[in-house]
Amino acid sequence: MNSSDNYPVVDAQTLLTLRKEPNALATITEKLRVKEMGPADHIRTKHEVKVFIESGTEKSAETLTRMAQERLKANEAAERRLAQNREIGQRL
């Protein structure tokens, strides 16, 4: 099961709109599904969101969405490999 199929991809325009909200950090990190990332990626992306909220350029919004999607995919692939390794270990 690929969890990225369950959520729509957030685009740069959406992020530019959300950054003006009072609780922008929480809203944007939720939309980017930061909690589903590994610990290092979670912290890194949250920091990038804070920087984006301060700068708010379209280019930084595009970069942020692309990097968040790449990190989510990498985390999902790592989780699949871990599950496969556990399955192999249980059979031994």
H or E element at residue 17: helix 12-18
Query: Per-residue confidence at 87, pLDDT binned at 50, 70, 90?
Result: confident
Residue type, 57: T
Predicted confidence (pLDDT) per residue in 1-27, tens digit = 344 445 567 889 999 999 999 999 999
Instruction: Please tell me the predicted confidence (pLDDT) of residue 1.
Output: 39
Task: Indicate whether 71 pLDDT > 80.
Answer: yes
Helical segments of 35-57, H only:
39-55
- Whether the CB-CB separation of 37 and 3 falls below 8 Å is answered with no
- Return mean pLDDT, the chain: 86
